[in-house]
Amino acid sequence: MSDPYPPVSFHFKVEFNGISSQDKDVQFQSVSGLSVDIETEEFAEGGENRFKHKLPVRSKFPNLILKRGMVTNSELIKWCQSAIENFQFEPVDLTVKLLNEKHEPLVTWNVVHAYPVKWDIAELNAEESKVTIETIELAYNYFRLV
């Protein structure tokens, strides 16, 4: 029987295939970039001046952006460092799982062929008492909804 309420968006985890399954490498503050656009091409038909036909060309996926409190001694960050510092890219597949109250997956997105393109540490500011946030940006080919 399906739940009558929409799922909450704050209970999720991200698993990287072959990198790490430690709790600190699957828990994130936010995930964005799970969207897709269809690029179109306009085609003018001879004699038809009222409109142009729009034809679908390909799917376009934005970068996946993951945010979390900064983690030290992380296998995920070592993977990012290898790509950024040594220019050694090892694409991996990952899954984003939206969880229910029993920690079971409600919805799963399989992200294919992801690799890091940006790593960012939030501003360090002695005048504020905040957690240091790191942002990992990943390019990927596509995702599938499971």
pLDDT tens digits for range 32-89: 999 999 999 999 988 888 999 999 999 999 999 999 999 888 899 999 999 999 999 9
Looking up residue 89, the CATH number of its domain turns out to be 2.30.110.20
Residue 132 maps to a domain: yes
Helix, strand, or coil here: 1? coil
Beta pairing partners, 133: 69
**Separation in Å, CA 143 to CA 49, 76, 94:** 38, 20, 9
Q: What is the mean pLDDT of the chain?
A: 91
Residue 48, H or E segment = none
Residue 57 maps to a domain: no
Residue 133 maps to a domain: yes
Token pair recorded at residue 54: 């729009």
Residue 40 maps to a domain: no
Token pair recorded at residue 44: 């003018």
Residue 51 maps to a domain: no
Q: What integer pLDDT is reported at residue 109 of this predicted model?
A: 97
User: Of 66, 61, 38, 70, whose CA–CA distance to 113 is shortest?
Assistant: 61
Residue 3 maps to a domain: no
Domain membership of residue 125 as a residue range: 12-35+63-145
Residue of 53 and 2 predicted with greater confidence: 53
Quickly state the pLDDT bin for 23 (edges 50, 70, 90): confident
pLDDT in tens, 104-126: 999 999 999 999 999 999 999 99
